Amino acid sequence: MSFETWISFCLLWLAFAVFPGPNAAYAVAVTGRHGRRAIWAAAGGFAAAVSVYVTLVAAGLLALLAASAEIFMMLKWLGVAYLAYLAWKFWTADPNVPGASAQTPAQTGARRQIALRAALISLTNPKSAMAYVMLYPAFMSTGAEAQGQLLVLGLTSVAISFLVYSAYGLLGSFGHGLIRNRRTAIASNRIFAVLFAGAAGALAVTQRR
């Protein structure tokens, strides 16, 4: 793989990761609620999902997704259900002002939960899966070099995704200090609940191309 090809992939993947969607909304929401200590957990969860997708590309399983309408629909409705669940969780979240122990992800378990939710948002979104099916082959050869190229592309995707969602998380953390009372905490929770409900609705009407 030439350096020019790699740079082209970096720019394309950066555009893909930066485009606002459920991933970005979650990174902003969770750090707006929990502060900067949640940034690395959320970004790490999304990066872990990228690693899973790269592994599936290597195993040829994403090609099966692209060829199977049934698998696509099953994954789509799992994604819809999970986004709706997140909407409900934010709508009913504890409206205490950030800084209370219940909202501070100091415990390892809380950070793991944030990372797991981030990973599941990506892994239950068939549009994310299809992006790998479409983008990776365009930058890979079909010869003996394919495995090495996949490794390079995979590591690049993980690194860029981690940096992008860390940036989104940092953006969200600036709003953390603005939530100073119960009213603003409820408003913040409800705004993100509506965003996730909207994302669930958008995914529900997505059709396999």
pLDDT, tens only, 120-155: 998 888 777 777 777 787 787 766 677 788 889 999
> For 165-203, what is each residue's pLDDT tens digit?
999 988 887 766 556 566 767 777 777 788 778 877 877
HSE-up of residue 38 (Cα within 13 Å, Cβ side)? 28
**CA pair distance 151, 58, nearest whole angstrom:** 9
> Which single residue is written with the structure tokens 């950030």?
98
Task: Return d(Cα 197, Cα 192) in angstroms, integer.
Answer: 8
Q: CB of 114 within 8 A of CB of 41?
A: yes
Q: Which pLDDT tens digit goes with each residue over 42-99?
A: 999 999 999 998 888 877 766 666 566 676 777 778 878 888 888 888 788 766 644 4
Q: Which amino acid, 11?
A: L
Q: Give the pLDDT of residue 104.
A: 47
Task: Give residue 180's pLDDT.
Answer: 58
DSSP assignment of 43-105 equals HHHHHHHHHHHHHHHHHTHHHHHHH-HHHHHHHHHHHHHHHHHHHHHHHTS--PPBTBGGG-T
As a whole number of angstroms, the distance between CA 119 and CA 49 comes to 5
Q: Average pLDDT over the chain, rounded to whole?
A: 78
pTM, rounded to two decimals:
0.77
